[in-house]
Structure 1
Amino acid sequence: MNISGNTIFIPGSTSGIGLALALALRARGNKVIVGGRRAELLGQIAAEHPDVDTVQIDTADPASIDAAAKEVLARHPDLNVLVAMAGIMRVEDWHTPGSFLASAEAIITTNVLGPIRLIAAFIEHLRARPDATIVTVSSGLAFAPLKATPSYNASKAAIHMLSESIRLQLADTTVKVVELEPPSVRTSLLPGQESSEFAMPLDEFVAEVVGLLESQPTAKEIQVERVKFLRYAEARGDYDQVVTTLNAADPHGT
């Protein structure tokens, strides 16, 4: 993926990593469209950043995805990058089904079906572009589990394998598939995470990601140094130790 000259749609970017990345990419010479559910946040972003376009979208709702895709492509026919950023994370207790089932279903709908539906809505357009990229967003927890968040871990493992698979299928097209693999980052994804010493500062994370995109334009996976502890645990042969360390250190462990 080239670091500049793109038109980029980022659903799920009204706050946290999504918004910070959107603004960083805009600063590198890209046209950016921010997508999100809450109209008041979209209005605030548009007022503060007039050169950033905004589109309302709920990635848990197939009709909303279809409507937003039509709106984005009508206004930005040169769109060539889709970043499937939207995601939710919840602490779950799997001892009794009443305490986790609704949460698990919501997480899978947003984190797995959401990206699948987004890609389905944009793939024909992207295939027609001379150079296009789909950016999926998994997690270090796709490779080593945090026991407090089973459904989230599973959803991100699914995104990793989905990314690997569609990259193979789309190898005969102009569409590249890049997987972004964040570690824990100081955002509001979970209560208390914004001030967690365990989590990576947001500005440091985004700066490193942008640097990697620039220095490694053909990379299949974007991995900041901090996530490699989780990403390569099995390959290093210290998976059990990594899982133990992760669950002892993370404040959301149960």
Structure 2
Amino acid sequence: MKQSGNTILITGGGSGIGQALAQRFHDAGNTVIIAGRRREALEAAIAGRANMHAMALDIESAEAIEAFATALVAAHPALNVVVNNAGIMRYEAIGARRDLADAEATIATNLLGPIRLNNALVDHLKTRPDAAIVNVSSGLAFVPLEGAATYSATKAAIHSYTLALRQALAGQVEVIELVPPAVQTGLTPGQHDRPGYLPLDAFIDEVMALFDATPTPREILVERVKFLRNAETEGRLDAAMAAVTQASKGGGH
């Protein structure tokens, strides 16, 4: 993936990993558009930055995504990179009957959202030089967290979908998977400073160095996430699941 001179869309760009990525890519000499539900957060993220733009997007809505994609390409016809970062994580107790509203919202945001957005933009991207799609999954795609089972399942699905998309777009659009470990962000309550989680700045430093590699890795894997990414192939899945559960309660791993 080319490191400068791109026009990049980043969903979920008003906070956390999305905001940090957007600002780093902007610093590197790219035009960046961030999208999300909270207009005030988007405006704060782009404040004082020329060639950084904000657009509202309800990633749960199929109709909103189609309208957004049309408006995006009209306003930014040079768009050549899409980073599907928007996501939600809700804790759930799956061992008994429960209300599935959180699970359904998680699937709509984390899985259907990227699929719908890529579908709306793929024909445009195929016409652009140096085009790329970056899908953000999670270490929990490879080692699920019982207390966030639907989140983990959506990220496992994103991993599988990314493999297929890469094959479908070979030679036309570069397809990259970014796999975060547990990072100190506002994704869940108390996560922004949870012990054992990777500080956001340290994560982004490592991610940007990996993006700068030639060729860009198919999977952007910081060192911390390899504990999860390789757990099953290394015969450590049960131990890794126990460690993830401990870490989610503040115990680290």
| TM-score, normalised by the number of residues in structure 2 | 0.95
Alpha-carbon RMSD: 1.4
TM-aligned CA deviation for residue 252 of structure 1: 6.8
Q: Distance in 1 between matches of 2:239 and 2:39?
A: 44
Contact 2:15 2:45 in 1 (8 A): no
Name 1:222's counterpart in structure 2: 220
In structure 2, the CA distance between the partners of 1:103 and 1:50, relative to structure 1 (3 Å rule), is same
Name 1:251's counterpart in structure 2: 249
Kindly provide the CA deviation profile for residues 141-176 of structure 1, in whole angstroms up to 9, marking residues without a partner as x. 0000111100000000000000001111111x4201
Q: The residue matched to 2:217 in structure 1 has which SS?
A: coil
Name 2:78's counterpart in structure 1: 78
TM-aligned CA deviation for residue 216 of structure 1: 4.0
Name 1:141's counterpart in structure 2: 140
Name 2:42's counterpart in structure 1: 42
TM-aligned CA deviation for residue 64 of structure 1: 1.5
Q: The residue matched to 1:134 in structure 2 has which SS?
A: strand
Kindly provide the CA deviation profile for residues 10-68 of structure 1, in whole angstroms up to 9, marking residues without a partner as x. 11110000000000001111110011111222233343434311111111011211121
Name 1:186's counterpart in structure 2: 184
Q: The residue matched to 1:235 in structure 2 has which SS?
A: coil
TM-aligned CA deviation for residue 239 of structure 1: 1.6
Contact 1:81 1:133 in 2 (8 A): yes
Q: Distance in 1 between matches of 2:124 and 2:250?
A: 41
Q: Distance in 2 between matches of 1:232 and 1:160?
A: 14
Q: Distance in 1 between matches of 2:46 and 2:175?
A: 29
Q: The residue matched to 2:83 in structure 1 has which SS?
A: strand
Q: Distance in 2 between matches of 1:249 and 1:133?
A: 33
Name 1:165's counterpart in structure 2: 164
Name 2:53's counterpart in structure 1: 53
Percent identity of the aligned residues?
Answer: 48
- Pick the aligned partner of 2:203 from 202, 205, 216: 205
Map residues 87-102 of structure 1 onto 2, 5 A cutoff: 87-99=87-99, 101-102=100-101
Q: Match for 1:226: what amino acid?
A: R
Residue 11 (structure 2) pairs with residue 8 (structure 1): no
Q: Distance in 1 between matches of 2:37 and 2:78?
A: 24
Query: Which runs of 5 or more structure 2 residues have no equivalent in the other structure?
Result: none
TM-aligned CA deviation for residue 70 of structure 1: 1.5
Q: Match for 2:88: what amino acid?
A: I
Residue 219 (structure 2) pairs with residue 236 (structure 1): no
Q: Distance in 1 between matches of 2:26 and 2:61?
A: 27
Q: The residue matched to 1:233 in structure 2 has which SS?
A: coil
Deviates more, 1:210-219 or 1:244-253: 244-253
TM-aligned CA deviation for residue 138 of structure 1: 0.4
Name 1:110's counterpart in structure 2: 109
Name 1:67's counterpart in structure 2: 67
Name 1:125's counterpart in structure 2: 124
Deviates more, 1:154-163 or 1:239-248: 239-248
Deviates more, 1:89-98 or 1:187-196: 89-98
Q: Match for 2:219: what amino acid?
A: E
| TM-score, normalised by the number of residues in structure 1 | 0.95
Query: Which runs of 5 or more structure 1 residues have no equivalent in the other structure?
Result: none
Kindly provide the CA deviation profile for residues 173-229 of structure 1, in whole angstroms up to 9, marking residues without a partner as x. 420110000001100101010010121100010111000000243311000000000
Contact 1:129 1:174 in 2 (8 A): no
